[in-house]
Amino acid sequence: MRLKTSDYAGDAVEMAKALLGSVLCRRLDDGTVLRARIVETEAYFGEEDTACHAHRGRTPRTDVMYGPGGFAYVYLCYGMHAMLNVVTGPAGHPEAVLVRGVEGAIGPGRVTKAMRITCGLNRENLVSSERLWIESAGAPPPRFKATPRVGIGYASKRDQARKWRFSARAFSAPAGILRFLPLRADPGLEAATAAWFHAKWGVPESAYLECMDAYLAGRTEYGWYLCLDGDRIVGGLGVIENDFHERKDLSPNICAVYVEETHRRRGIAGRLLDMAVEDLRRKGISPVYLLTDHTGFYERYGWEFLCTATGDGASEPSRMYVKR
C-alpha cells in the first residue's frame, strides 16, 4: 500500500528507521514500474544539524525541505549523481531522509541510476505522484544497525558522531530491483514469456503466442504483465476474453497468475493484479473477473467474491471474483 501523508509526519531520525524495508517505486514512460526495498538510509535534521543542507537557512535549493513531509528532494552531487531524499516531519522544520541503498543498488548515486531517478523529480509529491512513490512493506521494519553518517567532514564533530545512518540486516528472501511491466514495454520478451507460462501451466506455447501476438499487434487490449528480477521472469499473469468457464457474460478474465516460490510473500501477485486492472481501466475496460479455487487470497488485494462458476470439463464449481 502506498504511504499516505500521515506516514511521513515523523521526524527524520525515526523515519529513516521506519522507511527500511519499504518499497521505492518508479514508473517509467513506457509503463514499466521499478520496485526495490529500501535497505539503507541517513537522517538530516533541521538547521541545528550542521550536516544538513538547510543548516545555513532557507534557499531556493532547500526550500522543499521546509515543506510538509511526503515530497522528494532530489539534488545533484558532484555535478553528476542525483541524490534522492524523502522530506519528513511538519512544515517549517527542514528535515529529510537520504535513500542510500536499495536491494540491488547500494550507494545513493547507484540507487537513482538504477531506479531512473533524476533531478526532474525534485519536489515530486510522493503521496499522489504516478512517477515516484513509496509503498509499505506490509511488515514491521527489519532489524538494523546504526552507524555515523558518511561524507560529512564539513559538519561539527558532534554531528559527525551521530549514529544517523541505518542499514537493514539481510532479508530472508533477498532480491534485486524488480521490474513490473506490460509485455508491450518489451516485446522482445514474447518468446521467453510464452515458454515461462507454458512451464507453469502446461498450456501449449502456441496458445500463449497467439494471444500475445494479438496484444502486441494492437488487435486486442487484453494484455500480459510480468515481474522480472534482473533478466529472470519471476511472476506474471494474462488477460483473456474467457478463462474456460460457463459464464461467458463475465469478461474479461485474469488468467495464469503465477509467482516463483523464491519470490512469494512479497506482494508481487498483488502488484501484478493492480497493474493489469489499472491498465485496463485507463483503456475504459472495467470490471475485470477472475476464476480461482483459492479462498481468501484475492480478497486481500481488494477483489470481491461474485458467484460460483464451473470451468470447462470441471465437475465442481470454482469461485468467481470481480474487481470494479
| Contact criterion met (CB below 8 Å) for 290 and 321 | yes
**How far apart are the C-alpha atoms of 147 and 42, rounded to whole Å?**
9
Q: Is residue 63 part of a domain?
A: yes
Are residues 271 and 195 located together in one domain of the fold? yes
Are residues 145 and 40 located together in one domain of the fold? yes
**How far apart are the C-alpha atoms of 246 and 310, rounded to whole Å?**
6
Tell me which range, 95-109, 133-147, 164-178, is most confidently predicted by mean pLDDT: 95-109
Provide CB contacts within 8 A for 76, sequence distance 6+. Answer: 82, 83, 119
CATH code, domain carrying 191: 3.40.630.30
Are residues 20 and 156 located together in one domain of the fold? yes
Share of the chain above pLDDT 70, in %: 98
What pLDDT, on a 0 to 100 scale, did the predictor assign at position 170?
64
Q: Is residue 189 part of a domain?
A: yes
Digit-coded pLDDT (tens) for 232-274: 999 999 999 988 889 999 999 999 999 999 999 888 999 999 9
CATH code, domain carrying 78: 3.10.300.10
Whether 28 shows a pLDDT value over 70: the answer reads: yes
Count of domains forming the chain: 2
Give the amino acid at 323.
K
Q: Which residues form the domain of 254?
A: 180-323
Q: Is residue 204 part of a domain?
A: yes
Digit-coded pLDDT (tens) for 205-227: 999 999 999 999 999 999 999 99
Q: Is residue 133 part of a domain?
A: yes
Q: What is the pTM of this model?
A: 0.83
Are residues 35 and 153 located together in one domain of the fold? yes
Q: Is residue 173 part of a domain?
A: no
Share of the chain above pLDDT 90, in %: 86
**How confident is the prediction for the chain on average, in pLDDT?**
94
Q: Is residue 175 part of a domain?
A: no
What pLDDT, on a 0 to 100 scale, did the predictor assign at position 1?
86
**How far apart are the C-alpha atoms of 15 and 309, rounded to whole Å?**
47
Q: Is residue 174 part of a domain?
A: no
pLDDT bucket at 174, cuts 50 / 70 / 90: low
Q: Which of 301, 307, 308 is nearest to 323 (CA)?
A: 301
Whether 139 shows a pLDDT value over 80: the answer reads: no
| Contact criterion met (CB below 8 Å) for 196 and 231 | no
**DSSP-assigned letter for residue 71:** B
Q: Is residue 11 part of a domain?
A: yes
pLDDT bucket at 169, cuts 50 / 70 / 90: confident
Are residues 10 and 145 located together in one domain of the fold? yes
End-of-domain residue from the set 108, 140, 168? 168
Mean pLDDT of 171-176: 60
Digit-coded pLDDT (tens) for 81-102: 999 999 999 999 999 999 999 9
Are residues 94 and 238 located together in one domain of the fold? no
CA distances to 15, 83, 124, 273, 316 from 90, rounded to whole Å, are 12, 22, 17, 35, 57
Are residues 17 and 162 located together in one domain of the fold? yes
pLDDT bucket at 176, cuts 50 / 70 / 90: confident
What pLDDT, on a 0 to 100 scale, did the predictor assign at position 314?
86
Are residues 190 and 282 located together in one domain of the fold? yes
What pLDDT, on a 0 to 100 scale, did the predictor assign at position 80?
81
**How far apart are the C-alpha atoms of 245 and 318, rounded to whole Å?**
9
End-of-domain residue from the set 168, 191, 215? 168
End-of-domain residue from the set 113, 134, 168? 168
Mean pLDDT of 61-87: 94
Looking at 41-45, 129-133, 292-296, 318-322, which range is the least confident one? 292-296
**How far apart are the C-alpha atoms of 205 and 292, rounded to whole Å?**
22
Whether 187 shows a pLDDT value over 90: the answer reads: yes
Provide CB contacts within 8 A for 297, sequence distance 6+. Answer: 269
Strands (E), the chain: 23-27, 33-45, 72-77, 81-87, 95-102, 105-106, 132-135, 144-147, 165-168, 178-182, 224-229, 232-240, 253-259, 288-292, 304-309, 318-323
Are residues 185 and 314 located together in one domain of the fold? yes
Are residues 51 and 160 located together in one domain of the fold? yes
Are residues 150 and 15 located together in one domain of the fold? yes
Are residues 268 and 316 located together in one domain of the fold? yes
| Contact criterion met (CB below 8 Å) for 161 and 148 | yes
Indicate the burial class of 52 (C-beta count within 10 angstroms; 0-12, 13-18, 19 or more): buried
